[in-house]
Chain A
């Protein structure tokens, strides 16, 4: 046991030493280095891949190719090292002084300016990365939608402490409402007839369609919020589960939206910049919500409803607001989802979707915005990376989740918030501490 402890400490020390060149790199520097890596991949990737004997650029950092064709592993490793690791390390290390100076200058302006610059850099890196193939593009968009869904579920399951099974239902409402709006107005379709408005208007009205989807979902949330005044826990879980089944069954019976066959021919509006913008907005708004007074009130309701009531918190209003807010974002995510796939059918929004979103929330961590992002991205990437294992993927991922639950019952990064100012601020090199 002592030896193990020693080894652990040694490992930690080694990691710290290996990390020390990067201790002074701020977030800006990391974004720059990521941008450099993806640009390098864009210009040299294909040539290098051919030189290393790979048929094409490894799509997901080499995971897929390594699992499919094990004899290509050395080439894949070399590719990942030359394209990603080496340039990232170099840029992160040597741009650090410059990046620190830039972050300091940016922080003098309002925080929003600095945040927008960081977001723009992040988007640039993702855009260049996704440009390489359609597969990356769609994976990235679906991952960002998963982030939104996970965050919105975390508002209920993490911050308010209820076990909500209703998110597939909210998502379905949002997906269908937004799809009916766009298909009805901008597509010549079998169900809704000819397009009513010229398609040039579509990108401008698309946010409206998403908001409509969100609003319909939050109206649906009233069905769960009102019973939640009287009951909690398991009974509320069942009410929300029944809600999901009801929504799914209702859509299956509505012939004018296609019934069980689903609804297709949504215009191609959910492009990468659109999804990215909505996702960033969602993270920002939810982060503000959970740090606001209302967000703290949901925490109080979770920890002790009676005490919260005694502290003059209007528990009913809090519950209603949390449910409607969470449903709104689930609905928006659903609207995006429908427009990314450009096809929805009610069977998508069943138990399977529920298990997926719950897994993301509990893997990443309850009561944490950062945790939700990590959980959604982690499970999405893992799901894609393990795709070559086919069916055994669905044994490995649940096993991993069981282990996470056993060793960290509330998820990887639970009950921890990130401070935007600290993330964006420059990092001073550690002085005299190392």
Chain B
């Protein structure tokens, strides 16, 4: 039982990374009906920007210019990196997706893939092939709940992710911009005719998604502090699977499916040898999609799909 609970905690943490990234895929899909295949690499960029920010702040503290407690450094790092990565996302949208708004969707998928490769290679060219270590900003403290060990990092990661998801939900449901996003997701051909600026909304969506990916990147680096330029590939594609599994364009579905994917992966590794993890996890997903081809919350295939 404690073993199970221990894995549950791990799965919550693992799933929150997937869910945060999957949200970005899903929001972009909801509005533009295309998948931003560079999103996994934006997660990587977010982690690296976070690394740069944290190192910069730590250097400032070390030289005595500032006296910041380390938790404040972490908060500042997360906020600033989210902002900067959002800008990267907006630039990606402007360069790779806006010129292809009327092109077949598959072409936009190819540009997305290519932007991803450019981001990876650009990072490699800029920083070299050696991995970097994310500075540890918070001391790890382990709490013992009757045999289940939970570190303060895990609590922080899950808490921050869930509060970000709630914040996003509130933004989409309550604010004027959120309303515009929902309207655009409903029909992005007619709604712009009502005076809602399509390009601004698209940029906003990419920015929000990228900010969430940056948050996921930094939280991931807090838990697993070794960064390399290709870290976004595996995460990106898995989160993409989660976004589809949740039902394209569904924010709630993406969140739940992200957690579900985390649970499947952790529990498969608990029961079977860990080399079978991908095999079983993807087989489960394949079976789910065969019986529920539109994911958990997606609409059935409809005439809205343009190809």
Residues of A that sit less than 8 Å from B by CB: 157, 161, 163, 223, 226-227, 230-235, 237-239, 241-243, 245-246, 248-250, 252-253, 351, 355, 358-359, 362, 366, 391-392, 394-395, 398-399, 401-402, 405-406, 409-410
Bound-state CA distance A332–B141 (Å) is 56
Q: Residues of B contacting A406 with CB < 8 Å?
A: 99-100, 111
Contacting pair B107 A398 (CB below 8 A): no
B132 to chain A, nearest CB (A): 17
Contacting pair A234 B244 (CB below 8 A): yes
Contacting pair B111 A235 (CB below 8 A): no
A259 to chain B, nearest CB (A): 8
Q: Residues of B contacting A410 with CB < 8 Å?
A: 103-104, 107
Q: Residues of A contacting B117 with CB < 8 Å?
A: 355, 394, 398
Bound-state CA distance A154–B300 (Å) is 27
Q: Residues of B contacting A351 with CB < 8 Å?
A: 233, 237
Contacting pair A391 B124 (CB below 8 A): yes
B residues 222-273 in Cβ contact with A at 8 Å: 233, 237, 240-241, 244-245, 248
Most B CB contacts (10 A, CB to CB) among A157, A230, A358, A366 go to A230
Contacting pair A398 B115 (CB below 8 A): yes
Q: Residues of B contacting A358 with CB < 8 Å?
A: 110, 113
Q: Residues of B contacting A230 with CB < 8 Å?
A: 290, 293
Kindly report which residue of chain A lies nearest to residue B99, judged by CB atoms.
Answer: A406
Majority SS of interface residues in chain B? helix
Q: A233-B301, A238-B241 are in contact. Are A163 and B109 (CB under 8 A)?
A: yes
A98 to chain B, nearest CB (A): 45
Q: A157-B106, A395-B121 are in contact. Are A401 and B279 (CB under 8 A)?
A: no
Beyond contacts A231-B289, A355-B117: 20 other A-B pairs, Cβ-Cβ < 8 A, are: A161-B307, A226-B290, A227-B290, A231-B294, A234-B35, A234-B248, A235-B289, A235-B293, A238-B241, A238-B289, A241-B237, A242-B285, A249-B278, A253-B279, A358-B110, A394-B120, A398-B114, A398-B115, A398-B118, A409-B107
Q: A395-B121, A401-B114 are in contact. Are A362 and B301 (CB under 8 A)?
A: no
Query: Chain B interface residue count: which class?
Result: 35 or more
Bound-state CA distance A214–B35 (Å) is 31
Interchain CB contact (< 8 A) of B118 among A235, A241, A399, A405: A399
Bound-state CA distance A241–B122 (Å) is 26
Q: Residues of A contacting B109 with CB < 8 Å?
A: 163
A192 to chain B, nearest CB (A): 22
B143 to chain A, nearest CB (A): 35
Q: Residues of A contacting B35 with CB < 8 Å?
A: 234
Q: A253-B275, A406-B100 are in contact. Are A243 and B286 (CB under 8 A)?
A: yes
B276 interface residue, CB < 8 Å from A? yes
Would you give the 0/1 interface string for B289-300, flagging 1 where the beta carbon is closer than 8 Å to chain A?
110011100000
Contacting pair A405 B282 (CB below 8 A): no
